[in-house]
Structure 1
Amino acid sequence: MICLKSIIHPSPRLHLPLLASSPLSRRRLKPSAVRAAAAMSSAAPAAAIAAPIEHFVLIKVRPESLTSGAAAAMVSSLQALSSQVPGLSYIHAGPVLRLRSPAAEALGPTHLLHSRYATKPDLAAYAAHPAHVAAVQAHVQPNALDATAVDWVNAAAGPSPVTPGSAIRLTLAKVKEGVEVGRLVEEVAAATKAAGEARGSRVSFGENFSPARAKGYQFGMVAVFDSVEELDAVEGDGKVEAAKAAVRPLLDEVLVLDFVAGPAGDAPAAASL
């Protein structure tokens, strides 16, 4: 695939729960901050594909690109792919809202791209599409200090549709030595089933099948909420805490961050590619 050239930085090996949070991350953001994050991003309507191919790229943008407007141009160029690439069922590009674990803080992504596809060939076609290649070469590579990418097939029982304004928690995990990733997927499936749709969350998870740019992360999961307030309210939920406890012994290192899917109608005009 033609995506970002990853600059690998080792991160500490930690023992953290899925959906973890750090003291800094517990601060409630002002509504204006949430709106600002959404204004810089957009989400095409997401089809409720039962088992989508999930594609995530975490991007650490150069500080000068944030102040010059180059980062905003990068977001626009990626958002524009929603109308340019066949087989792309959903795409969101925008800033990270909160880094919620030490591993996330060490990696330091400022932006991310999340897209979905019905099949692996659709993902491969997206990667090779001239519009995608042009956006990466003209806007992403010149402005990215680092990139991390993972892909998985949703192993959850149902879909996790994203709507404008959805608050999403992304969890990437490495398993302990001797633990099969398939076992973690099975345990997460059982734990999430036992927890139910805690406070309205919808989940997608699975084993990463693109290890080259994943920095060792073998598993990915998203939990989708209707709002940041609903995401924050899940902290301390008894069923969620029990689900964490069930999978924690299998985990070595966990990266957790939050982001907001922007309103589809706020997508800026397509960038010149």
Structure 2
Amino acid sequence: MSSAASHAVEHIVLIRVKDDVEPSKVNDIRSLATLDQVRHLTVGPVLRSHATTTNATSDLRFTHLLHSRYDSKEDLEAYNAHPRHLGAVRGSLFPICGDLMAVDWFGDEDALPPHPTPGSAIRVSFLKLKDGAGGEVKDEVLDAVRKMRGGGGAISGFSCGGNFSPEWAKGLSIASLAVFPGRKELEEVDPNEWLVKVREHLESVVVVDYVLPLE
């Protein structure tokens, strides 16, 4: 059985809306949740976006987040190629977007709730390894990321993995997503504590917090 067949696919898009654009236009993308391939989709303004990088010219701050989930890589590919998706991206997203980053990974089938509860909070983290880091280093960093799953008991769902879509990822190769009951529980967890032991291997870290809309 292939990885695509046995694991759900997590798809995260981070967006920085241009300063002179009405941010609510991002909400036009919500209609894509009705496409047959989409198991779950949420989009909206981020609570906070934080990046640390050794490259002073990098700007990895974002204003909005989209998270969607698919039963397989094939479903994600069908979603990406769907005329409604292409129309929304070209007609609604690109005209208002100052910057964009997208990451995809295979997650455990039961690691995240099928539809996170409105008002729950999520923290997504993206890591870029230093040049020359090999497979052993990547495995060590992934092990450190998985330890976030404990989260002091506050995390109700967790998924992590290696990015398999490098085109829009800005070199960030490891991703994780943690679900919390609400903003209070999210803010009680230090977003960087679990990376201390592997910081020497990382060039960039992007952490984005997001609260699912109540509507």
Q: TM-score normalised to the size of structure 1?
A: 0.67
Matching residue of 1:41: none
- In structure 2, what residue type is equivalent to 1:63? D
Matched, 1:82 2:33: yes
Matching residue of 1:8: none
Give distance in 2, aligned partners of 1:190 and 1:157.
Answer: 21
The alpha carbon displacement at 1:158 in A equals: 4.8
Give distance in 2, aligned partners of 1:182 and 1:121.
Answer: 29
- Choose 247-256 or 163-172, whichever is displaced more: 247-256
Matching residue of 1:99: 49
Give distance in 1, aligned partners of 2:18 and 2:149.
Answer: 40
- Choose 223-232 or 178-187, whichever is displaced more: 178-187
Aligned counterpart in structure 1 of residue 15 of structure 2, from 51, 55, 59: 59
Give distance in 2, aligned partners of 1:131 and 1:191.
Answer: 35
**Cα deviations across residues 216-238 of structure 1 (Å, max 9, x unaligned)?**
111111111111100111239xx
- Larger relative contact order, structure 1 or 2 (CA cutoff 8 Å, min sep 6): 1
State the secondary structure of the residue aligned to 1:65. coil
Query: Quick one: structure 1 residues 152 and 235, their matched pair in 2 at CA, closer, same or farther if it must change by over 3 Å?
Result: same
Matching residue of 1:5: none
Matching residue of 1:46: none
Give distance in 2, aligned partners of 1:189 and 1:56.
Answer: 21
State the secondary structure of the residue aligned to 1:217. coil
Give distance in 2, aligned partners of 1:191 and 1:253.
Answer: 14
The alpha carbon displacement at 1:260 in A equals: 1.0
Give distance in 1, aligned partners of 2:30 and 2:185.
Answer: 26
- In structure 2, what residue type is equivalent to 1:205? C
Matched, 1:159 2:106: no
Give distance in 2, aligned partners of 1:144 and 1:208.
Answer: 22
**Cα deviations across residues 176-211 of structure 1 (Å, max 9, x unaligned)?**
233235743454346635863523213211111111
Matching residue of 1:200: 154
For structure 2, the residue ranges without an aligned partner over 5 or more in a row are 1-5
- In structure 2, what residue type is equivalent to 1:89? R
State the secondary structure of the residue aligned to 1:152. strand
Q: Contact 2:149–2:178 at 8 Å: present in 1 too?
A: no
Query: Quick one: structure 1 residues 187 and 254, their matched pair in 2 at CA, closer, same or farther if it must change by over 3 Å?
Result: closer
Matched, 1:246 2:197: yes
**Cα deviations across residues 127-181 of structure 1 (Å, max 9, x unaligned)?**
1112111111221111111111111112x59512222112111111111233235
Q: TM-score normalised to the size of structure 2?
A: 0.83
Q: Contact 2:144–2:198 at 8 Å: present in 1 too?
A: no
State the secondary structure of the residue aligned to 1:142. helix
State the secondary structure of the residue aligned to 2:164. coil
Aligned CA-pair RMSD: 2.5
Residue correspondences, number: 203
**Cα deviations across residues 65-90 of structure 1 (Å, max 9, x unaligned)?**
12xxxx31331x2111112x112011
